[in-house]
Chain A
Amino acid sequence: DAKTTQPPSMDCAEGRAANLPCNHSTISGNEYVYWYRQIHSQGPQYIIHGLKNNETNEMASLIITEDRKSSTLILPHATLRDTAVYYCIGHMDTGRRALTFGSGTRLQVQP
Chain B
Amino acid sequence: DAMVIQNPRYQVTQFGKPVTLSCSQTLNHNVMYWYQQKSSQAPKLLFHYYDKDFNNEADTPDNFQSRRPNTSFCFLDIRSPGLGDAAMYLCATSRDSSYEQYFGPGTRLTVT
List A residues at the B interface (Cβ < 8 Å): 34, 36, 38, 41-46, 49, 87, 93-104
Contacts of B90 in A (CB 8 A): 43-44
Minimum distance in angstroms from A27 CB to a CB of chain B: 16
Check A43–B92 contact: CB distance below 8 A: yes
Check A103–B42 contact: CB distance below 8 A: yes
Give complex CA distance A102, B44 in Å. 9
Determine chain A's interface SS by DSSP, over half rule: loop
Check B33–A98 contact: CB distance below 8 A: yes
Contacts of B31 in A (CB 8 A): 96
Give complex CA distance A99, B100 in Å. 10
Give complex CA distance A93, B55 in Å. 17
Give complex CA distance A39, B47 in Å. 23
Whether B81 is near chain A, meaning CB under 8 Å from some CB there, is no
Contacts of B87 in A (CB 8 A): none
Contacts of A100 in B (CB 8 A): 45
Give complex CA distance A64, B103 in Å. 26
Give complex CA distance A46, B29 in Å. 15
